[in-house]
Amino acid sequence: MPRVDARVRALAAAWARKDHDFATSLLQNRSRFGLVEVLKALTLLDCSRQIRVHEKKLKRLQMQTGGKVKPKVLGKFKSNIDNLTAVKPKVSLGHSAQYRT
């Protein structure tokens, strides 16, 4: 399972709760927050949606073919879903409405 760095999780949490000041202060430290960390944080925030997209495509494909999907195609979809599930945080980053005052 890929390990997500605490810096990436902190940046993703700041964006999730719309704490722009904190996110900006994190990003100003360019030696610790580069393009790689930003992309990982965005992937972390987007993985739940991507999982739903892949599951919907797989379901649609199964409906169109009557459940007869080639093992290679089925394996590709399941592999993508499993990879995104491994990256997905176990605890929700929270909905932004929870943090509004």
Chain Cα centroid distance, residue 24? 21
Is-above-0.95 flag for pTM? no
Each residue's pLDDT tens digit, 42-87: 988 888 899 999 999 988 988 888 878 888 988 888 888 888 888 8
pLDDT at position 101 over 80 = no
State the Cα–Cα distance between residues 82 and 88, nearest whole angstrom. 10
14 burial (CB, 10 Å; 0-12 / 13-18 / 19+) is buried
